[in-house]
């Protein structure tokens, strides 16, 4: 068997395993809550599922700087009867087969330093970086929330 053929086959095998690993992490219903016109932040929600047989950590996220200056993982916690936001500096770990819901009042994505307000129907690509070195670009749709959830004025 020629060496070039073996190299091509090995590359295809490696690429196939990376694609399989990435597809083991499923993101359902990704969306950002539309904010008010002068908002400098936006909150994003989704359900993240690990269909692999190993734990995986969502280490960090990024967004194009034409959309916002920074994207971070956060959670809401109650302290002295007040809801406060805390960065998830260690990311979010999903055990094998686990599903984690990002929702108002819990875990969420924060966009900081919005270049302009997010309008309903806009699609915002967000890049996810996982502990197993895989990355995924996830398209979040901007939706209007009728209960005011997702409007974080205090960041």
pLDDT digits (tens, 9 = 90+) for 47-65: 999 999 999 999 999 999 9
Tens digits of per-residue pLDDT, 81-138?
888 899 999 999 999 999 999 999 999 999 999 999 999 999 999 999 999 888 999 9
Q: Is the pTM of this model over 0.85?
A: no
In angstroms, the CA 123 to CA 139 distance is: 6
Ranges of each domain in the chain: 3-143
Among 137, 60, 50, 127, CA closest to 94: 50
Tell me the pairing of strands 68-79 and 123-130. Answer: unpaired
Does CATH number 2.40.10.10 belong to domain 3-143?
A: no
Structure tokens at 88: 């998830």
Cα distances (Å, whole numbers) of residue 51 to 32, 59, 74, 87, 99? 24, 17, 23, 25, 9
């Amino acid at each position: 068997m020629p060496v070039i053929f073996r190299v091509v086959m090995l590359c295809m095998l490696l690429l196939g395993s990376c694609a399989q690993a990435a597809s083991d992490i499923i993101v359902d219903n990704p969306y950002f809550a539309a904010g008010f016109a002068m908002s400098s932040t936006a909150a994003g929600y989704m359900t993240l599922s690990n269909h692999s047989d190993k734990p995986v950590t969502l280490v960090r996220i990024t967004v194009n700087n034409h959309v916002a200056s920074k994207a971070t993982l956060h959670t809401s916690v109650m302290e002295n009867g007040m809801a406060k936001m805390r960065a998830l500096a260690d990311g979010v770990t999903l055990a094998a087969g686990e599903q984690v819901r990002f929702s108002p009042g819990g875990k969420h994505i924060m966009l900081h330093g919005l270049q302009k307000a997010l309008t309903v129907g806009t699609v915002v690509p967000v890049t996810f970086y996982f502990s197993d070195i895989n990355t995924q670009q996830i398209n979040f749709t901007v939706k209007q929330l009728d209960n005011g959830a997702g409007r974080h004025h205090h960041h």
